[in-house]
Structure 1
Amino acid sequence: MNEVFGIPMSSLATVLAVAFFFCLAISGAIWVRRPILARIGMRNIPRRRVQTALVIVGLMLSTLIFAAALTTGTTLNRSITSDVYRLSGDVDELVVPSGGESEFAGPSPGVTFPEDVTATIRQVADEEPLIDAVIPALWQPVPALNPRTGLSEPVVNLIGLDPTSIESIGSLRDVDGQPIDLAGLPQDGVVLGESTAQQLDAQVGDRLTLYVESATVDVNVAAIAPDWVLTGTLSTGGESGLAMPLARAQELLGRPGEVSFIAVSNRGDARGGLQHSDDVTARLNRALEGTPYRAIPVKQRSVEQAEQAGESFASFFLIFGLFSVAAGLLLIFLIFALLAAERKPEMGTLRALGMKRRHLVAVFLLEGLGYNLIAALVGAVLGVLVAFGIAGIMAQLIGEFLAIEPAWRPRDLVVAYTLGVVVTFLTVAVAAWRVSRLNIVSAVRDLPEPSLPRAGRRWLVFGVLGLLLGGLMLWGGKTADQLFLFAFGMSLLPLSLAAILRRFGVPPRPLYSLASALVLAYWLLPDSLHNRLFGRMEGDIEMFFLSGVMMVAASTVLIVWNADVLTLLVGAFGRSFRSWLPAVKIAVAYPLASRGRTGLTIAMFSLIIFSLVVMSTINANFMALFASDRAGAGWEIAASKPPTNPIPDFRQALADAGIDTGGITAVGRVLQMGPFQAQARQPGDSEWSNYPVSGIDRAFAQASDAPLQLRASGYDSDRAVWEAVSDDPTLAIVDANTLQSGGFGGGPVRFTIEGVERQGSTMQPVQIEIRSPLDNRVRQLTVIGVIDPQASMLFGIYVSERAFQELFPEPASITYYIDVAPGADAQALSRQIEAGLIPYGVQGTVIADEIAEQTSIARGFIRLIQGFMALGLVVGIAALGVVSFRAVVERRHQIGTLRAIGYRQSMVAASFLLESTIVTALGVLSGLVLGLLLSRLVLFSEDFNESFQFESLIIPWGQIAFFAGLALAVALLMAYVPARQASRVSIVEALRYE
């Protein structure tokens, strides 16, 4: 990983290292100049070991989150880049036909050009010392069969290589590392890629049958070599292949004097050659200027994409992990509030003896740093272990496509450790300053702080600063069209105004209740109303975190200032449990007497439950949408094949293969170009976007059950729109993603349409342009329909076959969609089609199974992220442990008094258990309600409704109940030990306790 949130890791490490040493310098200076303060602060750490352990658990979580996210990004980065280097080997650039500007251009099956171009490249290589080798290659996917084992593969990449050229980078080597003489192979000899050998269960000496242009060719496996680009494995997770001499491949494929690409190797090994890629690519493209060919730095771009994937994944984890980090920061405040309460008489005595407030702050800073340095180290190590666990889960999810190799880097741990220490140090500093403000007389006598009719001047100062900052954010957000700044400012204004009014004696309960209600009302505004009131602004995934923090903060304030309603409810319903009513009343009343610590604990649980509920609910609704009964658009089987060796008549080909076609009710054909092989834009736009394009025949249009979200006026049904597109080469249908201008991210595959005027389910037609990057040919189309997201199998722009073939003479792939009669076995028929049409390279899949597999992988990743986010529950659990253990010490005298007036041990224990349960339940309930409200708001917002129209909100009660039950169960478990301890306090000792 080289960046996080766009910040270079090297710069981040430098800044954090400076900040870390600054924190150490401040602490060291205090230690040297005031050693007595250091001894006062550090002596408290070993005094209560259980409490110290809980403090360390809470403090380490932030570092754990940072370390786990960064290490996960490094793991994914290393896994993909290792695969890139392994498959690319010494090949750094490819020369391919391309007159366009797409940075994702590459070789296409069936697209060849004269081998003579190699002479131009070799001339450049002779003059350029950075180039080691130039290797012309011919590539075509072909089906292969191993008669000995009966196994077949519909797509095997046949690669023809120039034996003389490949010697420039060292000969091919087999899986044992022995050199392979490509030129010396027998006439029918081939070098089989390792994956192909495994798929066919082939070994050296086997005879394989290849199906090339409707003819069969027998070849002999002369050697088996590791997978790489020159043995046919062209991409990570893609099909593997076999290699043979170029001349032999040209003869078999009927392409004399033709090649598919020219591979270029830079000076240096597989990794070292990458540093010359920019210079070599520029030099080659200068030589190719004016020709329909260009050099593309395939290895460099693959490595960059791998790094981007790792950085995106790490950023994604960090965004969701910030909820746990925020909960951890609240825990720090809570810890130091409890420590201050415990040492109140001691602090008062120190102040009475002449110690300044800054000295108390220094004491807490040094104590906090003592906890912090240990906790951050433990968190960094545990973060790596968590990341390795995540890697193991990812290997189970996508190991079939990518080998996940757990990896870590010292720099990641340094960044995580220093970031955890610095963030915690700053939070401790603020908390220490807060607890140092005490009344000396009240502190010495261990009495509650005197209640003032109005707040102190600092509230006025903070309120004014908050108003100024909020106003500045409003202006900046509106000016820059940034929703994050605007929404942050709108949330600050009511709370800041409440702080100012509190200074002038306004009663706190109605004031804070109104302010928090206004914040909640703003965040729960419907999207359409918000846009009408404030205008449309841009937001991204960071809004999820901001909304959670602000809504939870407002909800917590509302709860703690109105929680006395619980006391009234207990009194009203107390007759049903009269014997336990005193214990219940105390359990309710005590948390209300300490609003600060109660609010912090509620907020911790609320934050985590909120994030889990939102994630679970949004995921459940999307999974239900994309995996609905209409996901397959009415088709049961998809039979895809390469463009080579065309099938004249699909039904007839099945009949010729001996397959009963009686159960087939419809067959539709779709010609396809992938997302990096076609481009689109709206007329007048300056830039093209990569987006897939498909050409459909009339049979597909007539038999599809593909619902449209929108259709142009004048068409009486969805099918009429599909049929019109299949017949008219000037019309097109697009998927719903093209309408979603908002949302998260974008990336290289991103095409959006602006200005779609909708009236209910109808729309006004809009114009778009599609282009072939191969030769820059452009076609203008009129969009008359938008596919409903329920038909999740359909993605991209759909045009007629005629329009497609005029723009793309050679499709990247061809898919036949098959509908079967009710009761027919689609699975069996799919297997028969793949076996019977092996000469054509057909791969058969049951669409329902494919969709189920895709959604299963998506669910797996969501659960992985949920598990990561659930680490935040550790914070709440630690907080309850600290609060519960502290409550026993703090209320020891009260416990003795209660026991003296007749409270049984069970009633005392029940009171403590109920306190923890009530606080946890309030946090869980708050997070649950807010999460469901925000989920509904997001799913039914204008941005989402542009693409996805949800009929109703699906609530995953099972997942929500699990998380809520887990929080409550662990809360009871953590409260059990201190509750039992409280119940066993001796009456005499408790009454004598000071």
Structure 2
Amino acid sequence: METFFRWPVESIAIGVVLAVALLLIGFGLLAWRAPLLGKLGLRNIARRPLRAALIVAGLMLSTTVIGSAFGTGDAMTHTFHTLITGSLGTVDEVVVLNPERGRRGGFRVYRQVQALTQPGLAQSTAGLGAVQLGSIDQATADRIMEAARGSTAIAGIAPAIVEQVAVVYGPSQQLQSSVSLLAVSAPLSPGSQQAFGVLTTIDGQPLALESLGPYEVVINAAAAESFGATAGATLSIMRDGQNSERRIRAVVSNGRIAGSQPQILVPLAQHQQTTGQAGQINQLLIANQGGTASVARSAEAARELRALLVDRAIAEQLHALLARPEVQRGLLEVEGVLEARDRERFAALRNAAAQPTMSDEFISLLTDPRVRQRLFVLAWRLPTTSDGESPRELLASVSRFAVLEVKQEALDQAQQYGAAVTTVFLVLGIFSIVASVLLIFLIFALLAADRSAELATMRALGMRRWQIMGLFLWEGLIYDLLGALLGTLASLAGSYGIVRALSQALITFGVAIEPHLVPTSLVITSGGGVLLTFGAMLLAAWRVSRVEIVAGTRGETVAESQRWLLGLGLLLLAAASLLWWRGQPDPELFEPRHPLLAPATISLVLAGLFCLVRPLFGARATPLLVRSWATLLGLALLGIWLRLLLSLPAPGEDLSRSAVVATVAGVVLIA
């Protein structure tokens, strides 16, 4: 997993390590400055070892939940990566014809990208086969391949037709309603055989598609397993209402150009002739240099291809348009409401447009399907060019072709799936995490009550409040470190058990899940557990360090002053007003209001009014009145946040946003 809640995981791990290091350094300085505090705090651990063991077991909870979530997410991300890289084979990018602009045409290329990574993880060719693609004539394809021949990033280009067909396996009459059919020619550019690989039968013999007869096809091992098919059997392929019989020449191994999802392969020339598509293809398959790491060169290959396929005169007009100061400000505003991937691309486009000369980087970003689709939506806000041309017309005409980074898009989607799994487990565990925080407060309250006479004596001898806090924190630090260590070990066992259970459930669908853990996740688990527990301990220690000498010696409780409630109530009301004012979306961006805005504002107002009850009513604020108001407040908050939880997930909403909403709602309901 590379990102979590839009933050790079490596950056989170570095931040956690630095925070833990600062924490330990701080305690080291405290031990050097006041060694007596450490001795007094640590002596209580050895006094009651059974209670210390129970406290450590309780503090393990939050670390175990965090680690189990990250361990499961890493395993699922690894599984998605394995499935995608296997199903995509050697295809890194594809070139397709841009759809014509119509009432819905502006979104078709964007849907082509989305089709690659829909649930089920169909390979890229199958994903695009599910989208109606325009035809590219062979002469145009030849010119594109010739122009890209000198690329240092591209290893091979192959023209192809990809379609979804219905198939009936003859011997058993088994029907498969949607199977990918790949019609591909012999690779034409030098080195393409190495780039796309050679088809190999399951017996280990090489096979050339050109050797197939007029009514022969090849299927991969995944299709053979799906049909129960063998070489020599017949298939009925139904396309556009027409049925044609084909003989299975051989079954080839999965991987490379054959992919790992069920697929039928035929020679391009044969398919063009039998379907009446002579001289036509619907996409160009691109394989990059770099072998198994070819996806690392996707950005470079896409940039070179887009620079070849763009109308540079129109691109120059758009460059001049996007360089205008008012347009730059508009693009900057839009960046704030985009997801991480789109935000990075938009920022790069804005910076490239601000340069005095047009670069290939600007062209690549401008014709990137995701960026282009966003620009189409924003085009109505953009001014016309000096020639009076509409920005929408320029965007529609800037390139006839779209270059789709299919493998990179699919891997990005796999990262999102993995992050989603981690998020789901963390959200489900947030109640346990909050319960562990409340447990920490309870533990410190009991420790303070048990030692009230001892603490009062220390206060009488001149010990200050921060020194009392130091006593508790020294003892709590040992509990914290032991709890984080044992919680990390427990999380490894927990995530392993979850992964094995998921594997058993999904093995019938042909999905094998293996345990996998990234070192950064281990760092975040242990460090996050330390910091979370210490933060709760710090608040609890500050709370219980208020000791009155006489009352503590007698074991009595002292009524606390309620004056601070007035300031807190006014602060909550001011925060509610500021939140509502700052949280309103820009109406020109057509962005919906954040789902947390209204519930959070109402909750702050109710909490602020509750805090003002005692200061404003004074002696009239009887215990019955306070309890009644507290009950009504609790019921109101329960209704507000339960209603929000029941509305999740909102249609079309980002999963990370829904996860944040669920987390906040869970914390409010528990607290």
Q: Structure 1 length normalisation: TM-score?
A: 0.49
Alignment CA distance shift 1:112-1:66 (3 Å):
same
What is the aligned partner in structure 2 of residue 214 from structure 1? 242
Alignment CA distance shift 1:32-1:175 (3 Å):
farther
* Alpha-carbon offset, residue 257 of structure 1: 1.8
- Paired residues of 2:60 and 2:483 also in contact (CA < 8 A): yes
Q: Secondary structure of the equivalent of 1:141?
A: strand
- Paired residues of 1:59 and 1:424 also in contact (CA < 8 A): yes
* Alpha-carbon offset, residue 226 of structure 1: 0.6
Cα deviation 1:729-771 (Å, max 9, x = unaligned): xxxxxxxxxxxxx9375259xxxxxxxxxxxxxxxxxxxxxxx
Q: Is 1:244–2:151 an aligned residue pair? A: no
Of 653, 658, 662, the match for 1:746:
653
Q: Is 1:23–2:45 an aligned residue pair? A: no
Q: Is 1:103–2:110 an aligned residue pair? A: yes
Q: Is 1:115–2:149 an aligned residue pair? A: no
Distance in 2 between residues matched to 1:408 and 1:499, nearest whole Å: 52
Q: Secondary structure of the equivalent of 1:216?
A: strand
What is the aligned partner in structure 1 of residue 66 from structure 2? 66
Alignment CA distance shift 1:743-1:148 (3 Å):
closer
Of 334, 356, 359, the match for 2:464:
356
Distance in 2 between residues matched to 1:9 and 1:388, nearest whole Å: 21
Distance in 1 between residues matched to 2:614 and 2:23, nearest whole Å: 31
After superposition, the CA RMSD in angstroms is 3.6
Of 159, 176, 198, the match for 1:171:
198
Matches within 5 A, 1:904-983: none
Alignment CA distance shift 1:428-1:310 (3 Å):
same
Distance in 2 between residues matched to 1:130 and 1:327, nearest whole Å: 53
Distance in 1 between residues matched to 2:533 and 2:11, nearest whole Å: 20
What is the aligned partner in structure 2 of residue 570 from structure 1? none
* Alpha-carbon offset, residue 463 of structure 1: 4.1
Alignment CA distance shift 1:232-1:430 (3 Å):
closer
> Deviating runs (4+, > 6 A) in structure 1?
none
Cα deviation 1:802-847 (Å, max 9, x = unaligned): xxxxxxxxxxxxxxxxxxxxxxxxxxxxxxxxxxxxxxxxxxxxxx
- Paired residues of 2:232 and 2:247 also in contact (CA < 8 A): no
Distance in 2 between residues matched to 1:80 and 1:381, nearest whole Å: 25
* Alpha-carbon offset, residue 91 of structure 1: 0.9
What is the aligned partner in structure 1 of residue 285 from structure 2? 263
Distance in 2 between residues matched to 1:398 and 1:232, nearest whole Å: 21
What is the aligned partner in structure 1 of residue 611 from structure 2? 496
Distance in 1 between residues matched to 2:214 and 2:572, nearest whole Å: 79
What is the aligned partner in structure 2 of residue 295 from structure 1? 403
Q: Is 1:433–2:542 an aligned residue pair? A: yes
Q: Is 1:127–2:242 an aligned residue pair? A: no
- Paired residues of 2:45 and 2:52 also in contact (CA < 8 A): yes
What is the aligned partner in structure 1 of residue 251 from structure 2? 223
* Alpha-carbon offset, residue 317 of structure 1: 3.2
Q: Secondary structure of the equivalent of 1:104?
A: helix
Distance in 1 between residues matched to 2:43 and 2:651, nearest whole Å: 49
Distance in 2 between residues matched to 1:397 and 1:62, nearest whole Å: 27
Matches within 5 A, 1:749-768: none
- Paired residues of 2:453 and 2:553 also in contact (CA < 8 A): yes
* Alpha-carbon offset, residue 200 of structure 1: 1.8
* Alpha-carbon offset, residue 425 of structure 1: 0.8
* Alpha-carbon offset, residue 220 of structure 1: 3.0
* Alpha-carbon offset, residue 71 of structure 1: 2.8
Matches within 5 A, 1:827-842: none
Q: Is 1:140–2:255 an aligned residue pair? A: no
* Alpha-carbon offset, residue 264 of structure 1: 0.7
What is the aligned partner in structure 2 of residue 183 from structure 1? 210
* Alpha-carbon offset, residue 171 of structure 1: 1.5
Matches within 5 A, 1:316-715: 316-395=424-503, 400=509, 402-445=511-554, 447-449=555-557, 451-452=558-559, 455-456=560-561, 459-461=562-564, 463-481=566-584, 482-483=597-598, 485-498=600-613, 500=615, 509-520=623-634, 522-523=636-637
What is the aligned partner in structure 1 of residue 393 from structure 2? none
Distance in 1 between residues matched to 2:613 and 2:187, nearest whole Å: 81
Q: List runs of 5+ in structure 2 lacking aligned partners.
A: 100-105, 113-127, 311-396, 585-596
Cα deviation 1:666-699 (Å, max 9, x = unaligned): xxxxxxxxxxxxxxxxxxxxxxxxxxxxxxxxxx
Cα deviation 1:758-815 (Å, max 9, x = unaligned): xxxxxxxxxxxxxxxxxxxxxxxxxxxxxxxxxxxxxxxxxxxxxxxxxxxxxxxxxx
Distance in 2 between residues matched to 1:121 and 1:392, nearest whole Å: 48
Letter in 2 for 1:226: N
Letter in 1 for 2:564: V
Distance in 2 between residues matched to 1:244 and 1:225, nearest whole Å: 15
Q: Secondary structure of the equivalent of 1:116?
A: helix
Instruction: Count how many residue pairs are aligned between Structure 1 and Structure 2.
Output: 537
What is the aligned partner in structure 2 of residue 200 from structure 1? 227
What is the aligned partner in structure 1 of residue 12 from structure 2? 12
Letter in 2 for 1:103: Y
Q: Secondary structure of the equivalent of 1:414?
A: helix
- Paired residues of 2:94 and 2:406 also in contact (CA < 8 A): yes
Q: Secondary structure of the equivalent of 1:44?
A: helix
What is the aligned partner in structure 2 of residue 894 from structure 1? none
* Alpha-carbon offset, residue 293 of structure 1: 2.7
Cα deviation 1:187-238 (Å, max 9, x = unaligned): 655332122111222234545454566343232332322156x3366xxxxx
- Paired residues of 1:23 and 1:425 also in contact (CA < 8 A): no
Distance in 2 between residues matched to 1:484 and 1:248, nearest whole Å: 63
Q: Is 1:253–2:275 an aligned residue pair? A: yes
Distance in 1 between residues matched to 2:614 and 2:193, nearest whole Å: 78
Alignment CA distance shift 1:468-1:150 (3 Å):
closer
Distance in 1 between residues matched to 2:93 and 2:516, nearest whole Å: 28
Letter in 2 for 1:296: L
- Paired residues of 2:87 and 2:259 also in contact (CA < 8 A): no
- Paired residues of 1:136 and 1:262 also in contact (CA < 8 A): yes
- Paired residues of 1:145 and 1:208 also in contact (CA < 8 A): yes
Alignment CA distance shift 1:183-1:339 (3 Å):
same
Percent of aligned pairs sharing the same letter: 28
Q: Secondary structure of the equivalent of 1:346?
A: helix
Q: Kindly name which structure, 1 or 2, has the bigger radius of gyration based on alpha carbons.
A: 1
Task: Name whichever of 477-486 and 432-441 sits farther off.
Answer: 477-486
Q: Secondary structure of the equivalent of 1:255?
A: coil
Distance in 2 between residues matched to 1:488 and 1:310, nearest whole Å: 33
Letter in 2 for 1:273: S
- Paired residues of 1:203 and 1:221 also in contact (CA < 8 A): no
